[in-house]
Chains A and B, each alone.
Chain A
Amino acid sequence: MTFLSPMLWVIAFRSLLQHRVRTFILGAAIAGVTALLVTLTGAFVGIRSTLLLSATTLMSGHVNVAGFYKASASAGAPVVTNYKKVRAIIDSEVPELDYVVQRGRGWAKLVSESGAQQVGIGGIDITNEPGFRQVVQIKEGKLDDLTKPNGMLIFEAQARKLGVKVGDTMTIVAPTFRGTSNTVDVILVAIAADIGMLSSWNTFMNDQGLRQLYQLNDESTGALQLYLKDIDQVKPVQERLRRVLAASGFELLDPDPRPYFAKFDSVNRENWTGQKLDVTNWEDETSFVQWIVTALTALATIVIFVLMMIIGVGIMNVMWISIRERTREIGTLRAVGMQRQAVLAMFVAEGTLLGVMSTVLGGLLGVLLSVGLTRAHIGLPTSWQFVFFSERLVISPTLFWVLFSVGFITAVITLISIIPSFLAARLKPITAMSHVG
């Protein structure tokens, strides 16, 4: 008789049913932990997807070819000169490409009549931004008005802070790359719904307007952002581009997984002038916030570990009780010819069955809870928005993580149930049969 013998499972199932109160309490606890794990993993997926959405819409492609131009050793600017040649290399060397856009990059003070805010500015050619159109949800104004040379788009939270509405005029004050300060008046043409925390400091303006602000020619841009058909191809594309660009005579910065604005100091300390390109990916550009995901993962791991310990002790206790109650039965089964391995399998089957039933139920509950919470459009407090990268709670349970949660907790429960089961199997038939109690 093996672990797969139907009779063992019949005994296991009916034994659980016979002690239904105990089974229900423990099963509910296991289901609760599973639901929690599904919800937490769903929250991570939600956070990661929101982060990906924010990052790849607002400040990064899947892969970016950007870099710095230095007129003098200590005056680096986030500029790619002669970007059309780079674009031609990308078009010929990256068959994985879906589309590519060029964005200007700037960092300036945005001043309204009632307030001011330091913001990052993306120079955008809206006629060539299919992804941007799909993702950015316009609350007020028109996205197409970004074709106007002084048109500007900001996000809701920024609009509230600056006290502006569509049609208002604002002033941008920015130090140019040549070391002087420049100002330009812009008209707010669109206000978009917030997209996570990254939208709190990103703004967009017409790319010609940005060139005018920074006094750049038409051959220069801030970055070429590559969007791939399959995001999992980021690493090979990134490595290939580094190799091909170097072979084509471009100078490249050493690989550095930080966002471009964190590299100014180190670039300005280096003793070179001219152009150096930098090939980064979306994770590099958002590495400054990825620690949040890491911290949440660690926190959830600890929580799950503690809960599993508690559940584990519960499982052990229930198995002990079950074995104590059924010691005479074990003796009888051993007497009639059941081998030790079969006794072990019988009790492990009981633990496994309890685990499978409870975790499947818990998985379903977790999915329902996640979907329910997401559909409830629960607004998050500002401090939580920082963590969740979204103004609303978004929990996205995936099949992989649901199956992982169910499988992982069932496996742990099965492993835990082996210990008392093993000791039950070691009992001599005569010892077990003469057990009193």
Chain B
Amino acid sequence: MSAIVTIQDVVKEYSLGATVVQALRGVNLTVDKGEFISIAGPSGSGKTTLLNLIGCVDTATRGVVEVAGQNTAKMSERELTNLRLNTIGFIFQSFNLVSVLTVFQNVEFPLLLQNKLSAKDRKERVEGLLEQVGLKTHLKHRPNELSGGQRQRVAIARALVTDPLIVLADEPTANLDSETGQAILDLMKSLNQKKGTTFIFSTHDHRVMRYANAVVRIADGKVTGRESPQDAVAHEMEGLDTRSTEVRAS
């Protein structure tokens, strides 16, 4: 399989007043086409920063980020926006739907930005996707008329509507109950298998990691390893046991 994302020696620094904070400290990572990969790590470890760099909504301080074969550091703001529009789909933790648009319009929005399809084709594509995520009957609903799980399904449909090569999901189940979260992951997984779309999602929930092909561990801004989901879950459970023992001992 060929690489869809390549990250080499990437450093990301933020300035907080006079203090410079290193969110990523020389990260190297390769993600192949069609992978369903999880980036795992505790809060503040750099998961979201890494996803932002891959999603081209932020730029690295140093190092190389290549997405779909393009070095993002050498691209203009307009080119980056086009890359996001045509190559990447986003699923956010807080869904981030446009509150004044209907379900249909939210999903249709990226297609309007692309301006490639006729109204008829757009309708067909959007309704097809909403059927896949089980919301065909909610086309005219506004986001505030939907449950959290339904909103995330709309977000998934929006992320997939342009047939992107990569879908980035930042803790997609964090705001959902476990049952709904599981259903969302099932949906993402099935779309990954049917369409071959690459999914990269961040999480620190071991139940979510089970769905991944591989889990990339990140801590203190560095990639500490890449492991199978079974190993990752085992490590998580060990960590939980250790922490609970420490709590009991204290």
Residues of chain B within 8 A (CB-CB) of A10 are: 100-101, 105
Partner of A337 from the list B52, B86, B105 (CB cut-off 8 Å) is B86
Chain B contributes a number of interface residues (CB within 8 A of A) equal to 28
> In the complex, which residue of chain A has the Cβ closest to the Cβ of B83?
A337
Number of interface residues of A (CB under 8 A): 26
Residue of A nearest to B77 (CB): A340
Find the B residue at minimum CB distance from A432: B57
Which positions 82-141 of chain B face chain A at CB distance < 8 Å? 82, 84-86, 90, 92, 96, 98-101, 105, 108-110, 112-115
Complex: A342 Cα to B114 Cα, angstroms = 12
Query: Would you call B100 and A11 a contact (CB within 8 A)?
Result: yes
Measured CA separation A333–B98 after assembly (Å): 8
If A336-B113, A337-B86, A337-B110 are given as contacts, then 19 extra A-B residue pairs at C-beta distance below 8 Å, sorted by A number, are A1-B113, A7-B109, A10-B100, A11-B98, A15-B100, A17-B100, A18-B100, A329-B98, A332-B92, A336-B110, A336-B158, A337-B81, A337-B85, A338-B113, A339-B113, A428-B57, A429-B57, A430-B57, A430-B58
A15 vs chain B, min Cβ distance (A): 5
Q: Bound complex: CA of A337 vs CA of B87, how far in Å?
A: 10
Any chain A CB within 8 A of the CB of B55? yes
SS class, residues of chain A in contact with chain B: helix
A14/B84 contact (C-beta < 8 A), A337-B110, A342-B113 known: no
Report the Cα distance A210→B78, complex, angstroms.
84
> Which B residues touch A333, using CB under 8 A?
98, 109
Complex interface: chain A residues within 8 A of B100 (CB): 10-11, 14-15, 17-18
Give bound CA distance, A333 to B58, whole Å: 15
CB-defined contacts of B77 to chain A, threshold 8 Å: 340
Q: Are B112 and A14 in contact (CB under 8 A)?
A: no
B126 to chain A, nearest CB (A): 13
Check if A334 sits within 8 Å of B81, measured CB to CB.
yes
Could you tell me if A18 and B105 are in contact, using CB atoms closer than 8 angstroms? no
Q: A1-B115, A340-B77 are in contact. Are A335 and B57 (CB under 8 A)?
A: yes
- Closest residue of chain A to B96 (Cβ to Cβ) is A332
- Bound: A332/B100 CA distance, A: 14
A5 at the B interface (CB under 8 A): yes
Residues of B within 8 A of A (CB): 52, 55, 57-58, 77-78, 81-82, 84-86, 90, 92, 96, 98-101, 105, 108-110, 112-115, 158, 162
Does chain B have a CB within 8 A of A433? yes
8 A Cβ contacts from A307-358 to B: 328-329, 331-340, 342
Choose among A14, A17, A342, A430 the residue that contacts B101 (Cβ–Cβ < 8 A): A14
Question: Which residue on chain A has the smallest CB distance to residue B162?
Answer: A337
A334 engages B57 (CB within 8 Å): yes
What CA separation (Å) do A335 and B85 show in the bound complex? 8
Q: How far is the CA of A15 from the CA of B114 in the complex (A)?
A: 23
- Complex Cα spacing A366 to B118, Å: 43
A428-B77 Cα distance, complex, nearest whole Å: 9
A328 to B95, CA, bound (A): 11
Contact residues of A with B, CB < 8 Å?
A: 1, 5, 7, 10-11, 14-15, 17-18, 328-329, 331-340, 342, 428-430, 433
Question: CA–CA, A17 to B100, complex, Å?
Answer: 9
CA distance A15 to B100 in the complex (A): 6
Alpha-carbon gap, A334 to B81, bound state (A): 7
User: B58, B84, B115: which contacts A336 (Cβ < 8 A)?
Assistant: B84
Of all chain B residues, which has the CB nearest A338? B113
Instruction: Tell me whether B78 and A339 are in contact (CB under 8 A).
Output: yes
Docked-complex contact A7 and B112, CB < 8 angstroms? yes
In the bound complex, residues from chain A placing their C-beta under 8 Å from that of B82 are: 337
Contact, CB under 8 Å: A5 / B158: no
Distance A334 CA – B55 CA, assembled complex (angstroms): 11
Nearest CB in chain A: distance from B175 CB, A? 14
Contacts of B86 in A (CB 8 A): 337
User: Are A5 and B112 interface neighbours, CB within 8 A?
Assistant: yes
Residues of B contacting A334 in the complex (Cβ-Cβ under 8 angstroms): 57, 81
Q: How many Å lie between the Cα of A429 and that of B51 in the bound state?
A: 13
A338 to B81 CA separation, bound complex (whole angstroms)? 7
Chain A residue contacts of B162, Cβ below 8 A: 337
Which of B57, B84, B108, B112 gathers most chain A CB within 10 Å?
B57
Nearest chain B CB to A342's CB is how many angstroms away? 7
- Shortest CB–CB separation between residue B79 and chain A, in angstroms? 11
Which residues of chain B are near A428, meaning CB under 8 Å? Answer: 57-58
Q: Which of A5, A342, A433 is within 8 Å of B57, CB to CB?
A: A433
8 Å CB contact of B98 from A332, A337, A433: A332
- Minimal beta-carbon separation of A22 from chain B (angstroms): 14
Q: Which residue of A lies closest to B100 (CB)?
A: A14
Residue from A7, A329, A335 in contact with B84 in the complex, judged by beta carbons closer than 8 Å = A335
Report 16 cross-chain contacts, Cβ distance below 8 Å, ordered by A residue.
Answer: A1-B112, A1-B115, A5-B112, A7-B105, A7-B108, A10-B101, A331-B96, A332-B92, A334-B81, A336-B85, A337-B162, A338-B81, A339-B78, A340-B77, A430-B52, A430-B58
Chain A residue with the shortest CB-CB distance to B86: A337
The smallest beta-carbon distance between B197 and chain A, in angstroms, is 16
Measured CB to CB, the closest approach of chain A to B10, in angstroms, equals 15
- Bound CA span A342–B82, Å: 13
Contact B105 A336 (CB under 8 A): no
- Given contact pairs A332-B98, A430-B57, A339 touches B112 in the complex (Cβ within 8 A): no
Please give me the residue from chain A that is nearest to B170 by CB atom: A433
Q: Smallest Cβ distance from A422 to chain B, in angstroms?
A: 15
